[in-house]
Amino acid sequence: AQKITQTQPGMFVQEKEAVTLDCTYDTSDQSYGLFWYKQPSSGEMIFLIYQGSYDEQNATEGRYSLNFQKARKSANLVISASQLGDSAMYFCAMKGGGYNKLIFGAGTRLAVHP
């Protein structure tokens, strides 16, 4: 069975600093994908970044990067130069194999302070 764990219910960071949101996963699949989504207070789900299990490089998308440590089964999201608009819920998610469902972690609420 697949499982996603986000152990930080809440985090805060000062504006312009970097922050790391933790995510660990468990799967028996050799091929899987890892996703991060942002959910601001408006409720919409915004895709941030994707990492495939066979990707050798850590994924990056602008200020977002994914610190992928396959042996540790961790896929932490790093947000550089935090902005006030980054305040939101952040969800880690995983899809195993080619046609398995996407499951989500419990989420981390990030607050960016000026």
Partner 1 sequence: GAGVSQSPSNKVTEKGKDVELRCDPISGHTALYWYRQSLGQGLEFLIYFQGNSAPDKSGLPSDRFSAERTGGSVSTLTIQRTQQEDSAVYLCASSDAGLNEKLFFGSGTQLSVL
Please name the residue that has the structure tokens 């989420």.
107
- Residues composing the chain: 114
CA distance 53 to 94: 10
Q: How distant, in Å, are the alpha carbons of 22, 31, 111 from that of 19?
A: 10, 28, 11
Site string for partner 1, 74-93 (x = CB under 8 A): -----------------x--
**Rounded to the nearest whole angstrom, what is the least distance from the CB of residue 43 to partner 1 in the complex?**
6
Residue with smaller CB distance to partner 1, 68 or 91 = 91
**Rounded to the nearest whole angstrom, what is the least distance from the CB of residue 67 to partner 1 in the complex?**
19
Residue with smaller CB distance to partner 1, 51 or 76 = 51
